[in-house]
Amino acid sequence: MAVIQVERKPLTFAERTYIPQIVGGLRTTLKHLFRKPLTLEYPEQRPVIPVGYRGVPTLVKDPNGREKCVSCQLCEFVCPPKAIRITPGEIPADSTNAHVEKAPQAFDIDMLRCIYCGLCQEVCPEEAIWLQNQFSMSGYTRAEMVNNKAKLYELGGTLPDSHFKWDKKKSAEEHGNAH
Amino acid sequence: MTVGLNEYLYLSAILFAIGFFGVLLRKNTLIIYMCLELMLVASTVALVAFSHFNRTMDGNVFVFFILTVAAAEVAVGLAIIVALFRRRQTIMVEELNALKN
Amino acid sequence: MSPDILFYFFAALTAGSALAVVLNKNTIASALCLLVSLVGVAAIFVLLDAFLLAALMVFVYAGAVVALFLFIVMLLDTYGGDRKPFKKATIVSSGFALALLVLGLVTFADRGALETPAAEASATAVVPVGASLRAYGEQLFTTYLLPVQIVGFLLLIAMLGVIVLSKKFEGLEDVK
Amino acid sequence: MFDFYFEIPHWIRLVVQGLAVMLVMFPIAAACSMAERKIAAWIQDRPGPNRTIAPILAWVPGIGFLQRLGLFQLAADGGKFAFKEDAVPGHVNKLYFIAAPIIAMIPALTTVVAVPFGAYIDSAGKLVPIVLANVDLGILVVFAVSSLGVYAVILAGWASNSKFPFLGGIRASAQLISYELSMTLSVLPVFLWTNGPLATDAPGSFTGSLSLARVVEFQSQAGFWGGAWFIFLMPLSAFIFLVALFAETNRQPFDTVESEADLVNSFGSEYGAFKWSLFYVAEYAHMLIGSAIFMLLFFGGWNPLPWITLSDVAHFLGFAHLPIVTGIVGIGIFVGKVLAMIFFFMWVRWTLPRFRYDQVMAIGWKKLLPLAIANLVAYTIGIALL
């Protein structure tokens, strides 16, 4: 590779006085002075959250209102900052979802530890944990910053789901066809 | 008692004496220098007072020159002190005794 | 608020802070006392109708000279507690000298001192001496033209001298 | 009409005038600090502080405009400074530490007395400048007193007993002393001109005065040369004065004294609450005085436009016989010009980066001072030949 010597032109007198540059700069800033602000007035005006935004992790229910999480604890294992704590529990036999067998008894996400990496969402076989568009978490105490199960479901709501995996399994069992 | 020429002269004398004693008593060249300035200023007070009470301009003009010369003198003197400090690392007169032995 | 009270006030201020220049242990405090003293002198000049000189006093002395002093003190880093207590002999001889000074002043006052010339005339004068700028200009560029030239030359030489003094010369620094 | 004012004892009048100066300077300086925040925001495409409002006032209809201008933010900031805990660090030299902000205020408020800020036409048809002390010395008093401003900075830097403030103090003293020379030299041609050969045929005695009011009177004479503002007659002087003014008031791009990036906040680092705010009021007061002098010397003071004087306007609009109206109009024009100048200060601040300290010194001594001397010599010869 040949070295190309770039000839740097000596500054002209006008450039060395620095005045044309100052005037140019002043013109630029003057233009900005009359421009509309680019900022949002935050609490009143909210930014548009793009699709796929990774905000606060939440738990979701399927359209039937059944909690999707089966407390497999994959997210708990994969979570790099160890923010997730799951206490697995059994689903009582008289429940309509008894065939799912397991559901979390407690599900805590410590938002002081969460790094919003999204690995929990990535790893979840049930698509039960989602990082959604909620981006602002605040509280007065450390305890407040730990989202428990109720809070997580409240934040998550219901997401559309066309698989209804557990419904299919139940109907298959009922029809004597256990895969 | 109205303030006349004499009161200004007393002030001038006191200022001059203070400056003089400062030059004699202090060992720090910078302070000595300040006291020299005080003596100059004391003389200007006397000159302006004379000029005012004799209703002539001469004293005032002379003070004008004193101010000018004092400014030049301070610049040169401080430059000498700085040069001295650079060489000897001190500005205390008692330690400036290179010619003693 | 008669000018007399003002005179005594500013005279006390000037002399007191001048004394503080000498007695202060801290060089920076001394320089600041010098500043107060010079401002006091400027006020005395105002009482004597020498407005131009008062302004020049503040401009040249208070504004530049003392700032230069402070600058050098900070540059040389020699402030703080550098004054040893005076020796007993110094204090005694100073007291003696003070007595002599007081004696001199008292004698001066006792002998009728100097007459304050034509105090009434200066009160009735239209423009007091030294109040108008025009008078200075006329005096400086007629009677005192030669001194003005000499002072200008002196300033030039002083400037050159300072430049030479503060310039580092090769080789000279090693000589101790 | 105002005779009663001249009948009250002299010293009461002096006290009233002094208080008036403070009552005017403090709010204007505070408002400037708010303006600075707003202009910074606008230049950076932001709205700036626009939410603060007193709860009771929020009910007043139409007050939202003032709220969006940040007017109440100003009061909130001021109140915060006044009521904040005024901490004095343990390692400082207490006396000088407390004295420094007070000393900063003295020259800032004192220089106002020699600055004329308007004019009215008296019953004899003569234009009389409105000024607290119309002394012959004028500009010299302003320069002399404002040269004392350097002590506040030195003292604050030294008394703080910590490295960055100390460095800031040293820098400030060197910078202020360096640029004072160019500043003084740059205004000399103006006074040579007003007291020179052209002045002899002017109405009234113009000779032998450094008064700022005289300079404005000179710029409001009839005729082409008389009515021309000095910005047209000596643009180079105006330029040098402007640059020196930026340096003297420690504004960007000569902001090396309190450069936040390398000296934290320089001499203000150890200060907080009310004492800190006093430094800022002093800085804005200096800016105000500097802009006022720049306007008086080079932009015709209270004259609305070059070759159109205040008295022309007064006669044209027919309020020449009303001294109060003329005075208010004159003061309004002058204050408007000064505020425009303040805006220019802020505009430059948010445009230019800061010079390095050695560049500041090099510009001051190697460029500006020779330029000022050459300018003075050229105008001296020119005026002598006129």
Higher local confidence (pLDDT), D52 or C149: C149
What are the backbone angles phi and psi of residue A103, rounded to the nearest 5°? -150, 155
Longest dimension (CA), chain B: 58
Provide the edge-to-edge strand list for the sheet that holds A102-110. A84-90, A102-110, A146-147
CA–CA gap between residue A84 and residue A107 (Å, rounded)? 7
Cβ contact (<8 Å) for C63 and D154? no
Top residue of B9, B10, B25 to mutate, by most chain C CBs within 10 Å, is B25
Q: Name the C residues in 82-121 with CB < 8 Å from any D CB.
A: none
CA closest to B89 among chain C residues: C76
Top residue of C25, C59, C69, C78 to mutate, by most chain D CBs within 10 Å, is C59
Cβ contact (<8 Å) for C69 and B54? no
Question: Could you tell me if D112 and D25 are in contact, meaning their C-beta atoms sit under 8 angstroms apart?
Answer: yes
Q: Is the dihedral of CA D50, D52, D57, D58 positive or negative?
A: positive
CATH class given for the domain over B5-92: mainly alpha
Site of tokens 């428990």: A148
Cβ contact (<8 Å) for C129 and B30? no
The 3-class secondary structure across D244-271, one letter per residue, is HHHHHCCCCCCCCCCCHHHHCCHHHCCC
Q: Which of D39, D46, D350 sits opposite A37 (nearest CB)?
A: D46
Q: Which of C72, C86, C147 sits opposite B65 (nearest CB)?
A: C147
Q: Is A172 helix (H, G, I), strand (E, B) or coil?
A: helix
Residue pairs spanning C and D at CB distance below 8 A: 72
Q: Taking the CA of residue A112 as centre, how many other CA atoms within 13 Å lie in the half-sphere pointing to its CB?
A: 8
Q: Is D125 left (phi over 0), alpha (psi -120 to 50) or beta?
A: left
Q: Which of D39, D45, D350 sits opposite A38 (nearest CB)?
A: D45
Q: Is the dihedral of CA C129, C133, C134, C137 positive or negative?
A: positive
Mean pLDDT across the stretch C116-142?
64
Query: What CATH number was assigned to the domain covering residues C3-131?
Result: 1.20.120.1200
Contacts of A47 (CB under 8 A, 6+ apart): A40
Site of tokens 């002598």: D384
Residue C126 confidence class, pLDDT cut points 50, 70, 90: very low
Q: How far is A21 from chain D (nearest CA, A)?
A: 10
Cβ contact (<8 Å) for D43 and A36? no
pLDDT, residue C169, reads 64
3-state helix, strand, coil in chain D (%, to 5): 70, 5, 30
Q: Is C69 helix (H, G, I), strand (E, B) or coil?
A: helix
Q: Is the CB of D43 inside 8 Å of chain A's CB atoms?
A: yes
Cβ contact (<8 Å) for A37 and D47? yes
How many beta carbons lie within 10 A of that of residue D251, not counting itself? 20
Q: Is the CB of D370 inside 8 Å of chain C's CB atoms?
A: no
**Strand runs labelled E in B1-101:** none
CA–CA gap between residue D313 and residue D305 (Å, rounded)? 10
Residue C115 confidence class, pLDDT cut points 50, 70, 90: low
In this structure, the strands spanning A84-90 and A102-110 are: antiparallel
The 3-class secondary structure across D72-102, one letter per residue, is HHHHHHHHHHHHCCCCCCCCCCHHHHHHHHH
Q: Subunits that touch chain A (at least 3 Cβ pairs < 8 angstroms)? A: D
Residues listed for chain C? 176
Contacts of C74 in chain B (CB under 8 A): none
pLDDT, residue C113, reads 60
**Domain map (residue ranges) of chain A:** 57-171
Burial of D328 (0-12, 13-18, 19+ CB in 10 A): middle
Lookup: tokens for D262: 């390398």
DSSP conformation letters of D34-62: HHHHHHHHHHTT---S-----TTGGGSTT
Q: Which long-range contacts (CB under 8 A, 24 or more apart) does B93-96 make?
A: B93/B27, B93/B28, B93/B29, B93/B32, B94/B27
pLDDT, residue A38, reads 86
Residue C175 confidence class, pLDDT cut points 50, 70, 90: very low
Q: Is the CB of D44 inside 8 Å of chain A's CB atoms?
A: yes
3-state helix, strand, coil in chain B (%, to 5): 80, 0, 20
Q: What is the mean pLDDT of chain A?
A: 86
Q: How far is C83 from chain B (nearest CA, A)?
A: 8
Cβ contact (<8 Å) for B28 and C27? yes
CA–CA gap between residue C124 and residue D99 (Å, rounded)? 42
Q: Which long-range contacts (CB under 8 A, 24 or more apart) does C119-125 make?
A: C119/B2, C119/B4, C119/B53, C121/B55, C122/B52, C122/B53, C122/B55, C125/B55
**Domain map (residue ranges) of chain B:** 5-92
CA–CA gap between residue A152 and residue A67 (Å, rounded)? 11
Closest CA to D26 of D149, D91, D108: D108
Contacts of A131 (CB under 8 A, 6+ apart): A53, A54, A55, A56, A57, A58, A116, A118, A120, A121
pLDDT, residue D377, reads 92
Lookup: tokens for C68: 């230069």
CA–CA gap between residue D288 and residue D298 (Å, rounded)? 15
Q: Is the CB of C60 inside 8 Å of chain B's CB atoms?
A: yes
pLDDT at C122 over 50: no
Question: Could you tell me if D169 and D180 are in contact, meaning their C-beta atoms sit under 8 angstroms apart?
Answer: no
Site of tokens 């600058």: C71
Q: Subunits that touch chain D (at least 3 Cβ pairs < 8 angstroms)? A: A, C
Closest CA to D36 of D83, D2, D77: D77
Question: Could you tell me if D189 and D379 are in contact, meaning their C-beta atoms sit under 8 angstroms apart?
Answer: yes
pLDDT, residue C109, reads 73
Burial of D347 (0-12, 13-18, 19+ CB in 10 A): middle
How many beta carbons lie within 10 A of that of residue D173, not counting itself? 22
Cβ contact (<8 Å) for C30 and B61? no
Lookup: tokens for D303: 């004259």
The one-digit pLDDT tens for each residue of chain D (386 residues) are: 556 666 777 778 778 877 887 788 888 888 888 888 888 888 888 888 888 887 787 777 777 777 777 788 888 888 888 888 888 888 888 888 888 888 888 888 888 888 888 777 777 667 777 777 767 777 888 888 888 888 888 888 888 888 888 888 888 878 888 888 888 889 888 888 877 666 554 454 545 677 787 788 777 777 666 677 888 888 888 999 999 998 888 887 887 776 777 777 777 777 877 888 888 888 888 888 889 889 888 888 888 777 777 777 777 877 767 777 778 888 888 888 888 999 998 889 888 888 888 888 888 888 889 999 999 999 889 888 87
Cβ contact (<8 Å) for C15 and B14? yes
> Which value, to the nearest 10 degrees, does the dihedral of the CA atoms of residues D137, B43, B92, D165 take?
-20
Cβ contact (<8 Å) for C74 and D169? yes
Top residue of D43, D51, D345 to mutate, by most chain A CBs within 10 Å, is D43
Closest CA to A74 of A56, A86, A66: A86
- pLDDT of C23-81, one tens digit each? 887 888 888 889 899 989 998 888 888 888 888 888 888 888 888 888 888 877 765 45
- Write b or e for each residue in D6-16: b if 16 or more Cβ atoms lie within 10 A of its Cβ, otherwise e: eeeeeeeeeee
**Residue C63: DSSP 8-state:** I
Q: How far is B100 from chain C (nearest CA, A)?
A: 16
Q: How far is C62 from chain D (nearest CA, A)?
A: 7
pLDDT at C129 over 70: no
How many whole angstroms from its chain centre is CA C164? 27
pLDDT at C140 over 60: yes
Q: How far is B2 from chain C (nearest CA, A)?
A: 6
Cβ contact (<8 Å) for C122 and B53? yes
What are the backbone angles phi and psi of residue D371, rounded to the nearest 5°? -60, -45
Residue pairs spanning B and C at CB distance below 8 A: 220
Peptide bond into D197 cis (omega under 30): no
Q: Do chains C and B touch (3 or more CB pairs under 8 A)?
A: yes
Cβ contact (<8 Å) for A22 and D42? no
- pLDDT of A65-98, one tens digit each? 888 888 888 999 999 999 999 998 888 888 887 7
**Residue D366: DSSP 8-state:** I
Count of H-run helices and E-run strands, chain A? 6, 5
Burial of C155 (0-12, 13-18, 19+ CB in 10 A): middle
pLDDT, residue A80, reads 93
pLDDT, residue C76, reads 79
Contacts of B82 in chain C (CB under 8 A): 72, 75-76, 165-166
Q: Taking the CA of residue D243 as centre, how many other CA atoms within 13 Å lie in the half-sphere pointing to its CB?
A: 26
Closest CA to B9 of B55, B51, B42: B42
Contacts of C176 (CB under 8 A, 6+ apart): B87
* Best CATH choice for the domain A57-171 from the list 3.30.700.30, 3.10.580.10, 3.90.78.10, 3.30.70.3270: 3.30.70.3270
Q: Is D378 left (phi over 0), alpha (psi -120 to 50) or beta?
A: alpha
Please name the helix (run of DSSP H) or strand (run of DSSP E) that holds residue D303, with its range, or none: none
For chain A, the distance separating the N- and C-terminal CA atoms, rounded to the nearest angstrom, is 66
pLDDT cut 70: percent of chain C above it: 77
Q: Is the CB of D212 inside 8 Å of chain C's CB atoms?
A: no
Give the residues across from A61 on adjacent strands: A67, A158
**Residue D128: DSSP 8-state:** E
